[in-house]
Structures are given as structure tokens and as C-alpha cells.
């Protein structure tokens, strides 16, 4: 059920009140969090506490008014690294991607930390990273989701490519639009000359859901697309078959910044009516699968998705032939891979990326 604030004239009234009261609210919150015992977690710094509050405020505001991020194929300040992709060969969009209404489309993308150079980079690692945002928010531009992927690419002496996959906050972009765009992006990297053995699927939050959906699709269509070398999930969203109690009543609700309104917005726009949220392509948890691809999952012990991460990894490990590893960062909120600078968890996010790199090195020995 959409919020009453998303209807006119309540939407305009809510926005006006929000911004009018914002300076006073922030000043009071800053004062409130000065004493350590008043922070959301007893071991958090002031930075941790205020960062979590600001992110939760931001996501609550955007998901209450259903504000869609701008969607354009025009480059911004990153113009020297921005490219536009046409859909891949029609034959690559099979099965669940062969939809009567939702068709492959032209999308944008950004390279990190620099543009790919033909004849120079094909032998290096390339990370195909999908940004977070619950399929309704986020983006591939530097200010939207570029911090973590750029750091990870540098640590691995490679590159990262972030596609601007379609979000369901825009019309005609429900499932399988984002997964179609993921296939378009993977095909693009293969066409550039990167061997699949040098490609890593990666995604944070909702993007982690998309990375696993792409891995599942490749596994079911190995005769069409090759397996990548590995898959990284940074606080991946694993269970879309949930209700408000999964967020509002979780023991970590106070220490995380994900509001139920964001989840509700996504669930109301993402899937076709005839599809259930328990579908394997929507909810990896409970639909674990065999794969030859090593999977690294990172989680924070103070986030509301931490139990899903533990359950998924345990179940995936129970399948013969799978290699799956879970790293948990103590007292960290959701998705510090993307939000580390805002949350005050830069050091911990870097340590998680170092662990992912070591995971790959161990696998190659």
C-alpha cells in the first residue's frame, strides 16, 4: 500500500516540512549523540552514530515520497569513463529473460578508476559490480556508488565496470529488466576481450542480489555464457519474500539504517504480478544452488540482514562442490563496502576488501 505522503497534495507538504525542520533536527541529533551511552551501539564513535542516522533519514525520506534517481544516458563529470551499451545478441536473453513486456534496452556504465584500454587491460582483473539501492535507488556514478568498487579495483590491480541498470522506481523497469542489463554488461566485457577467468561478479545490497541472479542465470545457460572466476556479495539482499517484521522487529533495527519504507517501495514495484517473491531469481535464500564459482560474502553484525547472510552461506556450503566464505565485521551496519566513508567504517571496509582479495589468492593456489 503506498504511503499517504506519496499522494498530492500530501507529498508537497511532507517535503516542505522535512526540509524546513531538517537543520533543527540535525542540530538536536548531533547534541544527542555526543554522550557515548546515547548512541545506537555502545561501541560506536560519534561518526558511526551520526552517519547511521543521516543515512536512515535520507532513505526514509526518499522512499516515503518515492523519489526516483535521475536516469540519463548523458555523461556527467565522469564523461571520460562513461560509456553507453546497446543490448547484446538476442540469443543471450533466454528463459526468465525472454519477457513479453520487458525487453533489453540501451544502458550506460562507468569504468573505475579509469577507462579500459584495448590491448593493455585484457589480462587484468575486471570487476563487474552492481550498485545497491533495493532496485529503486542508487547509481553507477562516482557520487552514487563508486567509492567501494574503485578501492577494490585498485587493490586488485584491475578495473571495475558499473552498469547503470534499470531501476524499478522508473516506469517499465520491473523484473527482469535489471537482470537483462546485467547480461548486457557481462557480454560487453567478454566482447572487449576479457576472458571469463578474469571477470568477477560483485554487488552490494540489492546489487548483491543481482550478482547472484546473474550467476544463477549463467549456470543455467552455460552453453551461452561462460562462468566468471568468482562472485562477491557485499551485504547482499537475499530474501525478498519478507514482511515488515523482518526489518522493524529485528534485534539490529536500531543499529542499521534500512527503513521498512525502502523495502516496501521495492517490493511494490519489482516483480511481475504472476511471479512470487520466493522465485529463485528473486530470493537466493532458500533457493541455494550448486556452482563451480567461489563466492565471498561480507556482512556486518549490526545489520538487519546478518542472519540471512549466515543462513545462506551455511546452506551453500552444504552443497557438494561449492566454495563459499563469510566474513563478518563486528558492530558494522549494512553495506559498509559502499557506505564506509559516511558510516565511519573506512578501515573495516578496506579490511573486508583485503579479505576478498586473499580469498581469490587462496583459491588460485
- pLDDT for 81 equals 95
- pLDDT for 28 equals 82
- pLDDT for 131 equals 97
Tell me the pTM.
Answer: 0.93
- pLDDT for 216 equals 98
Residues 199, 126 contacting (CB under 8 angstroms): yes
Q: Which residues of the chain have pLDDT under 50?
A: 1-6
Contacts of 81 (CB under 8 A, 6+ apart): 110, 111, 112, 114, 115
- pLDDT for 71 equals 87
- pLDDT for 361 equals 87
Taken in order of first residue, the domains within the chain and their CATH numbers are 4-65 (no CATH), 82-364 (3.40.50.1820)
Residues 113, 212 contacting (CB under 8 angstroms): no
Q: How many CB atoms lie within 10 A of CB 166?
A: 22
In this predicted model, what pLDDT tens digit does every residue of 35-56 receive, in sequence order?
Answer: 999 999 999 999 999 999 999 9
In this predicted model, what pLDDT tens digit does every residue of 107-127 receive, in sequence order?
Answer: 999 999 999 999 898 899 999
Contacts of 17 (CB under 8 A, 6+ apart): none
| DSSP labels, 46-90 | HHHHHHHHHHHHHHHHHHHHT-PPP--SS--TTTTTEEEE----G
- pLDDT for 15 equals 57
| DSSP labels, 286-340 | T-----SS-EEEEEETTSTTHHHHHHHHHHHHTSTT--EEEEEETT--TTHHHHH
- pLDDT for 67 equals 86
d(CA 337, CA 143): 14
- pLDDT for 357 equals 96
Alpha-carbon dihedral of residues 291, 293, 298, 299, nearest 10 degrees? -10
Alpha-carbon dihedral sign for residues 176, 234, 260, 8: negative
Amino acid at each position: 500500500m503506498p504511503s499517504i505522503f506519496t499522494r498530492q497534495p500530501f507529498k508537497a507538504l511532507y517535503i516542505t516540512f522535512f526540509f524546513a525542520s531538517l537543520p533543527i533536527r540535525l542540530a538536536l541529533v548531533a547534541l544527542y549523540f555526543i554522550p557515548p551511552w546515547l548512541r545506537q551501539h555502545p561501541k560506536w564513535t560519534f561518526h558511526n552514530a551520526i552517519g547511521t542516522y543521516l543515512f536512515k533519514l535520507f532513505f526514509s525520506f526518499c522512499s516515503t515520497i518515492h523519489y526516483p534517481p535521475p536516469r540519463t544516458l548523458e555523461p556527467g563529470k565522469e564523461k571520460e569513463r562513461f560509456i553507453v551499451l546497446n543490448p547484446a545478441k538476442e540469443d543471450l536473453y533466454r528463459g526468465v529473460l525472454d519477457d513479453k513486456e520487458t525487453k533489453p534496452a540501451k544502458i550506460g556504465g562507468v569504468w573505475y578508476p579509469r577507462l579500459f584500454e584495448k590491448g593493455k587491460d585484457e589480462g587484468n582483473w575486471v570487476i563487474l559490480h552492481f550498485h545497491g539501492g533495493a532496485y529503486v535507488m542508487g547509481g553507477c556514478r562516482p557520487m552514487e556508488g563508486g567509492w567501494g568498487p574503485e578501492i577494490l579495483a585498485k587493490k586488485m590491480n584491475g578495473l571495475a565496470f558499473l552498469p547503470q541498470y534499470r531501476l524499478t522506481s522508473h516506469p517499465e523497469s520491473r523484473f527482469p529488466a535489471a537482470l537483462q542489463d546485467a547480461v548486457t554488461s557481462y557480454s560487453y566485457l567478454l566482447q572487449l576481450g576479457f576472458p571469463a577467468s578474469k571477470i568477477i561478479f560483485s554487488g552490494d545490497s540489492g546489487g548483491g542480489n543481482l550478482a547472484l541472479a546473474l550467476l544463477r542465470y549463467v549456470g543455467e545457460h552455460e552453453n551461452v555464457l561462460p562462468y566468471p572466476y568468482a562472485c562477491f556479495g557485499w551485504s547482499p539482499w537475499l530474501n525478498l519474500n519478507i514482511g515488515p517484521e523482518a526489518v522493524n522487529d529485528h534485534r539490529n533495527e536500531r543499529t542499521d539504517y534500512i527503513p521498512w519504507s525502502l523495502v516496501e517501495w521495492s517490493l511494490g514495484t519489482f516483480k511481475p504480478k504472476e511471479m512470487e517473491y520466493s522465485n529463485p531469481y528473486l530470493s537466493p535464500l532458500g533457493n541455494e544452488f550448486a556452482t563451480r564459482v567461489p563466492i565471498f560474502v561480507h556482512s556486518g553484525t549490526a545489520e538487519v540482514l546478518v542472519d540471512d547472510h549466515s543462513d545462506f552461506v551455511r546452506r551453500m556450503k552444504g552443497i557438494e562442490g561449492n566454495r563459499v566464505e563469510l566474513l563478518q565485521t563486528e558492530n558494522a551496519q549494512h553495506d559498509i563496502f559502499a557506505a564506509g566513508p559516511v558510516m565511519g567504517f573506512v578501515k573495516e571496509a578496506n579490511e573486508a576488501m583485503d579479505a576478498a582479495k586473499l580469498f581469490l589468492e587462496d583459491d588460485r593456489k
